[in-house]
Amino acid sequence: MRKGQATVVKHTGSHYLLSELPAWSPFPAVLKGKVRLKGSSSTNPLAVGDKVEYEAEGEISAANPAVISGIAERRNYIVRKSTNLSRQSHIIAANVDAAYIVVTLDFPEVKLPFLDRILVTCEVYGVPAVIVLNKTDLYGEEYRERREAFHRIYEGAGYPVIEVSALTGEGVGRIREMCRDGVSLFSGVSGVGKSSLVKALDPSVEPKIAEISEAHLQGRHTTTFYEMYPLQGGGFIVDTPGIRGFGLVDLKPEEIALYFPEMLKVSDNCRFTPCTHTHEPGCAVKEAVESGDISYERYSSYLGMLEEENKYRR
């Protein structure tokens, strides 16, 4: 019997493709019935990026897939819960070196509370986040103030903001260089041009691409499975379906502020410990919001998360 270790590079329901990275030679596999990750309550026991042990008898093929017999502990992961089903969560990807969150000022308009939820999740699970502002070819002089404000909010919070255009190639080389040596997750809502950007990074990659629906300003959901692709210039990327909702997982209300880097930086100066940064006198976070050192937009997102998490626990 052949035994080995590999990485999950694609999953479609109960079927998986594995590859012994950094070599790229995917082969089919199925999950042994009782294999589960310890302490996991997610709907999917395995995610793209998971490192697994496998066994195989004879030549591996679609008719004779390898059997996944064990799952290694995750270095990190990105998880979301359905905003409708508060108790169900889904692992988007595991063991990634960076998450590239693709957004657009318009077509569709970026929703800052949604973006902030993804960023908080990255902070919770130890995934470095990069914000990619796509479709810059569409933003003329009339967008200058909005672009500057967006940079001010997120660079002020400590996140890199890289402007790109999948259409003209602006900024694509920089992203390609950043992805060269690791596993990079690309995520965003439908319609932001994420799959087009992936294609611009490497024309040999063939993710499914959808044009935005102008009638509803929402992209059609086309990428149905999570999948990893090798880049010709080095590194691997994980393409994900357009995310429609992003709820926080396993986070207590009193913990949320710990994952806003700009709040964490000043919270030691609050008069009271713990401080919810909502009503307490002598709150350094509220003072930083009033002085403009912390953006009102990010603080507003924090209050929304606080209210939502408290609601789920009533």
Q: State yes or no: pLDDT of 211 exceeds 60.
A: no
pTM: predicted TM-score of the whole model, two decimal places: 0.87
DSSP letter string, 96-133: -SEEEEEE-SSSSPP-HHHHHHHHHHHHHTT--EEEEE
Compute the average pLDDT of residues 210-230.
52
How many CB atoms are closer than 10 A to CB 288? Answer: 20
Per-residue pLDDT tens over the stretch 147-158: 999 999 999 999
Per-residue pLDDT tens over the stretch 76-100: 998 877 555 455 677 889 999 999 9
In the chain, the domains with their CATH numbers are 2-71 (2.40.50.140), 77-239 (3.40.50.300), 253-312 (1.10.40.50)
Can you tell me the distance from the alpha carbon of 162 to that of 219, in angstroms, rounded to the nearest whole number? 22
Using DSSP, how many helices (H) and how many strands (E) does the chain show?
7, 15
Q: State yes or no: pLDDT of 134 exceeds 70.
A: yes
pLDDT of residue 209: 47
